[in-house]
Amino acid sequence: MIVFNNTIKIDPFIEEAWLQWLIQEHIPEIMALGLFTEWKMFRLLEQDDTEGMTFVIQYFAPSLENYYQFTEEFAPALQRRSFDKWGDRFIAFRTIMEVVH
């Protein structure tokens, strides 16, 4: 099992609207691609939140091929739409992990 981990620090002024968009539009769009089997969302605790909350969204894929297909065929357009909508009001980085146990 592969875990695509997306960590995002969001500007507090757009947090509520961003969360609504993420849960109602963005995540369903990603899941509808059929490349991931489930997703989970977390809020980081014990962080300096003066510049905004930090969230982690994890998408679970059965194989690296699914992840690579996502990053090559779909991620660029999804990222572009995110930046078009929210501009520089968030910072994001990705990690890819493999479930070991």
What is the domain range of residue 32? 22-37+65-96
What's the pTM?
0.93
| Predicted confidence (pLDDT) at residue 67 exceeds the cutoff of 80 | yes
Percent of the chain with pLDDT over 90: 93
The C-alpha R_g of the chain, in whole angstroms, comes to 14
In a domain, 79, yes or no: yes
Q: Is residue 11 a part of any domain in this protein?
A: no
Structural domain total, the chain: 1
Q: Confirm whether 27 is domain-assigned.
A: yes
